[in-house]
Structure formats: C-alpha cells, structure tokens
Amino acid sequence: MNENLHRLRCFGCGTRIAGVEAQPDFRCAQCGELFEVEYPGWSERRGPDRPNPGALKWLWRDRRASLEAADQSGVWRFRELLPILDNLENAITLREGNTPLYRLPRISKALGIEQVFAKHQGMNPTGSFKDTGMTAAISMARERGFEWVACASTGNTSASMAAYAARAGLRSLVLIPEGKIAWGKLSQAMDYGAVTCQLPVDFDGCLRLLTEVVRQAPIYLLNSVNPYRLEGQKTPAFEIAEAFEWDVPAHIVVPGGNLGNSSALGKGFRELHELGLIARLPRISVIQAAGANPLVRSLANANGAALEPVQAHTRATAIRIGNPASWRKAVRVIQETGGRCLDVTEAEIAIAKAEIGAEGLGCEPASAVTLAGLKKLRAQGFVAPEDSVVLVLTGHTLKDADYTIDFHRGTLLTEEETGGPNSEIAAEIASLRRNAVAVDATPAAVLAALKGQVR
C-alpha cells in the first residue's frame, strides 16, 4: 500500500491532487467542493495495479478465517479496494464491519415483498455504521503523524471517533449541538476520553465552526468531508454484494443526514461494477425525516442541481441536519443508480422503529426511516413484490433508549403528529406499544398481566 496508488479528485472541478496536498478542511482550493479518492491503476485494464475480481472474491472470504487483526476487520479484509495507507501496520481496527444481514420475515409479509433484509450496521463496535469509516480515517491520521483529531457530530461520529482515537493513542475533540444528541452517544464520547464541547448551535453550526478551528491548528478533521472516511464506509457495499453471491439486491435503502453514507455505499457499488465484480448496480434510495429534508427538496425543486439549506427538526437527532456536506455526491448516487429520495414523518419513523424492534433487532430512530421509506416506495410501485431489498440500519437501539421508552409510554408524539386519539396512526401505535406495567410481587399478579395479551 502506498501513496502512489491513490489520489484525490475534486468532485466539483475535477482537479487532481496527491493525498498529502489536501487542505485541513478537505475542500478544493480551486472551487471549494469535496474530494473523492480515486485509484489511477484501476483504469489500466491490464495494469498490475488493477484488481483481479475472481481472485479477490476468494481472498476476501478466506480472510474471515484468519487470526490477523486486519483480516478480521470487515473493512481491511477488503484492503485491495481501499489502498490508502502506506503501511497496513498503521491500521487501527476494533474489528469493525462484518455486520449481520438479517431477514425481516414479518415486515416482508406485511409489505408483500418477498425478501426484505436489514444490514445492521448498529452491530459495529461502537454501535453505529461510523466505525467502518473511522477505522480508515483514523489510520490515516496516525500515518500522517497527527496528535489531535476532531469532528462535529450528532453523536455517533463522535462516539466512534473517540473510541478509535483512544485505540490509536491520539487526542480527540468533539463538537456537539447542546441538548440535541442522545445520551448513549454522549456517554460514549466521555468514556473514551474525548474533549467534548457542547455548543449552543445545531450540527451544521458545529461543522462550520470546526472547519475554522482546523484551519488554525494542526487537528485532523474526521467528518465525512474527509474522503478517507468514505473509503471505509463503502465496504458494507462489498459485504452486501458478497452476501448475495455477487448478484446484488434490487434495492438498497439508506437514511440521509450529512449524506456521507449514501455517497460511500454508492461509490462502493460503482467500483465493484467498474472492476467487474458485479454485473449491475442496485437502486439506492435515500430517506430523510420530513423536518430535515434538504435533499428531497433539492431533487424535487432543482433536479439535484442546487441545495437550499433548511432549519432541521426531528426527534431522529442523528439526522437532524439542514445543510448536508455531501449532497452532490448523494445526488449522483441516486441518479446513476435510479433510486429515489423521499421523506417520512415523525409518526412514520416511530412506527417503523417499533416494527423493527418487534423483529427482535431494534435500531435507532434515524435508521428506522429506511423502513418508513420502503413502505412508501412499495406503495408507489417502485419496489415490486419479487424484488430483494436491503435496509441499512445505521445505529443500535440502545443509542437512544429515551426515544424508545417515550414511544412505549405513549409520550413520544404529539396529537398533531398522530392525527388525534382516534386516527389510524394512533391505532397502529397502540398495537405496537409495550409499556412496562407495575404488578404486585405475586405469581397471580404476574399471570394476570399476561391475560388479554394478544399475539
């Protein structure tokens, strides 16, 4: 692995630079857009650096039985497709990736879709999909000799960064919007030893501020504007393709916040396609919360050519983002794969989350937008009964236990959001709620609690 294998290409003006030439904010000096990692050797059809698809499929599977840390990582197992480090010894891994792909039988039946799966990225070491990107970018920070790393976050990026920084022996700085992140995530950043600053601004404000900070001090920026994050975050695409024996599912559905994840997954599938590992692309659809839907608006109003930032509001705090950094990359993914982009209400998110919980999996609210979105895509006829669908669940249910408890206690949503006590939505919620009941400490009282419980 070495610097010559990769370079950075500006997503806006196409300027190409070496990785070491990137500015601290990872914006193009010419046009201000973001960069994407590219591997020049791949385009030389018979060149020695062009990966060999057949051999790789065997090699990657073989590594799952290896005892080497890098081989046990679901990111570095695919290292031939992310040759970003000079030396693999610099890889900091918590054995991220290799997350389970679960069938969702009840949801499949209810939606009339033969095969619905959940790729549960919440089963990563710090409980979210961020770990796959963080292992890549933190390793780069260490290789480049940084002492400090930093991110602005709605919670998961900071939890992940703090853990990987601690493993790498680096110091970490976290900027979070005060009062707007789930406790589970905040507790992680503290536990892993980050310097955590709560600011009286939203996520977009935190990121703007941090961009200033990294220009003034030698701190390595670990938000998804860092193109190396996306190199790690593209690997779940490889895992999904592998799980489907390299015949990809018809649809992938992902939540959209800052839009790094959808961009990364799209890049992953695109590269598999270009290298001949898969014969077609899955349609990638991005779902946002209705109160934080700048990409939905951008596609509807400007065909994705411009994006108007919004003031974001949603209880799915992970995706409470009004000015997403990677929107142009996400637009390309949706347009080139033929996916759709739509938004879902707070009530739809809450119901979908409870349904994923009832499958024995659970996820955080931001992840549940995928199922809420799938219902709409099915109703539109965009997803057919015979299609296979993978929902990307981005975070673990324990990340935001308050949300779950409020839902089951019936205190989460307002009447305006449910349409009042007699609405269809209220009835659906009532059928999903499982509040804890206080009973006397006798067998009779416990058995009485079972009465009237229908399956």
Positions touching ligand F0G (CB under 6 A) are 128, 130, 153-157, 224, 255-262, 318-319, 364, 366-367, 394-395
Rounded Cα distance between 86 and 129, Å, is 25
Per the CB < 8 A criterion, the answer to whether 209 and 135 are in contact is: no
Rounded Cα distance between 245 and 229, Å, is 26
Q: Which is nearer to ligand F0G, 83 or 322 (CB)?
A: 322
Q: State the minimum distance, in angstroms, from the CB of residue 288 to ligand F0G.
A: 9
In sequence order, what are the beta bridge partners of 250?
none
Q: Which is nearer to ligand F0G, 139 or 153 (CB)?
A: 153
Rounded Cα distance between 380 and 243, Å, is 28
Q: State the minimum distance, in angstroms, from the CB of residue 451 to ligand F0G.
A: 38
Rounded Cα distance between 436 and 351, Å, is 18
Q: State the minimum distance, in angstroms, from the CB of residue 116 to ligand F0G.
A: 19
Tokens of 80: 């031939």
How far, in Å, are 238, 285, 433 from residue 234 at the CA level? 7, 16, 36
3-state helix, strand, coil in the chain (%, to 5): 45, 15, 40
Q: State the minimum distance, in angstroms, from the CB of residue 202 to ligand F0G.
A: 11
Q: Which is nearer to ligand F0G, 1 or 194 (CB)?
A: 194
Tokens of 368: 């549940």
Q: State the minimum distance, in angstroms, from the CB of residue 109 to ligand F0G.
A: 26
Q: Which is nearer to ligand F0G, 36 or 71 (CB)?
A: 36
Pairing of β 388-393 and β 115-120: parallel
Q: Which is nearer to ligand F0G, 153 or 404 (CB)?
A: 153
Q: Which is nearer to ligand F0G, 224 or 418 (CB)?
A: 224
Per the CB < 8 A criterion, the answer to whether 345 and 290 are in contact is: yes
Please name which of 431, 316, 417 lies closest in space to residue 364, comparing C-alpha atoms.
316
Q: Which is nearer to ligand F0G, 1 or 137 (CB)?
A: 137
Q: State the minimum distance, in angstroms, from the CB of residue 158 to ligand F0G.
A: 6
Q: State the minimum distance, in angstroms, from the CB of residue 327 to ligand F0G.
A: 10
Q: Which is nearer to ligand F0G, 93 or 132 (CB)?
A: 132
Q: State the minimum distance, in angstroms, from the CB of residue 73 to ligand F0G.
A: 20
Q: Which is nearer to ligand F0G, 140 or 259 (CB)?
A: 259
Instruction: Tell me 199's DSSP state.
Output: E
How far, in Å, are 1, 205, 389, 417 from residue 345 at the CA level? 46, 24, 21, 8
Tokens of 62: 């073989």
In sequence order, what are the beta bridge partners of 36?
9
Q: State the minimum distance, in angstroms, from the CB of residue 396 to ligand F0G.
A: 9
Helices 327-337 and 260-274: angle between axes, nearest 10 degrees: 50
Phi, psi of 313 (to 5 degrees): -140, 125
